[in-house]
Amino acid sequence: MSTLITGIHHITAIAGNPQKNIDFYTGILGLRMVKKTINFDAPDVYHFYFGDELGAPGTVFTTFPFDGARKGTKGTGELTYTAFSISSQSLSFWMDRLAQFNIPTSTPLTRFGEKVLRFEDHDGMGIELIANDRDSRKGWTYGTIPLEYSIRGFYGATLNLKAKELTEKLLTQFMDYKFIAEEQGRYRYGTEGKPGDIVDIVVDKDGRQGIQSAGTVHHIAFRTDNEATQLKIQKKLLDNGYHVTEVKDRNYFKSIYFREPGGVLFEIATDEPGFAIDEDEKLLGEALKLPLWAEPHRERIEKSLAKVTINLEKYA
């Protein structure tokens, strides 16, 4: 049987101030803004996509920035830490860079034999950088970060759950994931076990439920090749009792959604067609791009959105 899911497609978070959001992810972390659009379900709110040069699946961290939103809290039923992949040689660079911008970090942790640096963004979003020599992706830079030290894309994600059994069943029986290893109460799964497809489950049976708002993850999306494979996984999930949405057109991919048993919102997104369908590759992320149904309302939408810019000088 062919593999229907091949790893993580994107991770979407709720943020606060949109300019601070851009400053952190383009300026400090050095990700490229590959798309500036709107939340299709809330058109008066931006939807930013940050990733590598072209926003390849497995590199894109996206945000819904609600200016003035209160901060959420980490807890069970949530994706609590998004992990990005960096080269082993770049760990000290990132420790120095984050210190330069007064971002507190953990001391380097060791997890499954690799070094991990943990910190939070300005909204309290949980972030990890995992240093490894297993990632062949080349990364991206605006020129403010040496390419060899740049973020390669996602490494993986941590789900904080009250129990793992039903989520493990979903991943391993219906989503092409395999159990890899356990270490100190952290259970690791992957499609191939490489950076970009890792899902860790940490069980906290007595933990308090997380509160979703600024600084928390809204959902995690998994990759599937195209619309045909998406329909196959949709049928597979429906046939096994999961409540899956109809296919939704997100312009740059097609999506279906459902909640896994622990409460985290899952999405299955197609690799096709990508972010270059409505912008030149060299200009990705520069203009506000709207879906066709929103174009008649462009003037009103633009007036409702705060003016934002990419300002890299102070982060060089």
All structural domains of the chain? 7-304 (3.10.180.10)
Q: What is the pLDDT of residues 270-308, one digit of tens each?
A: 999 999 999 999 999 999 999 999 999 999 999 999 999
- How does strand 114-120 pair with strand 42-51? unpaired
Which residues, 6 or more positions from 197, have their beta carbon under 8 angstroms from its beta carbon?
Answer: 6, 7, 8, 58, 156, 190, 191
pLDDT band (50, 70, 90) for residue 242: very high
* Run of H or E residues at 219: strand 216-224
- How does strand 216-224 pair with strand 8-15? antiparallel
For residues 98-123, give the mean pLDDT: 98
Give the mean pLDDT of the chain. 97
Q: What is the pLDDT of residues 161-201, one digit of tens each?
A: 999 999 999 999 999 999 999 999 999 999 999 999 999 99
Distance in angstroms (rounded) separating the CA atoms of residues 64 and 70: 13
For residues 30-44, give the mean pLDDT: 95
- DSSP single-letter state for residue 291: -
Report the pLDDT value the prediction gives residue 1, as an integer from 0 to 100: 55
Distance in angstroms (rounded) separating the CA atoms of residues 91 and 182: 24
Q: What is the pLDDT of residues 76-92, one digit of tens each?
A: 999 999 999 999 999 99
Report the pLDDT value the prediction gives residue 47, as an integer from 0 to 100: 98
pLDDT band (50, 70, 90) for residue 2: confident
Q: For the chain, what percent of residues have pLDDT higher than 90?
A: 98
Residue type, 95: M
User: Peptide bond preceding 273: is omega within 30 degrees of 0, i.e. cis?
Assistant: yes
Report the pLDDT value the prediction gives residue 187, as an integer from 0 to 100: 98
Distance in angstroms (rounded) separating the CA atoms of residues 144 and 315: 7
Residue 202 has pLDDT above 90, yes or no: yes
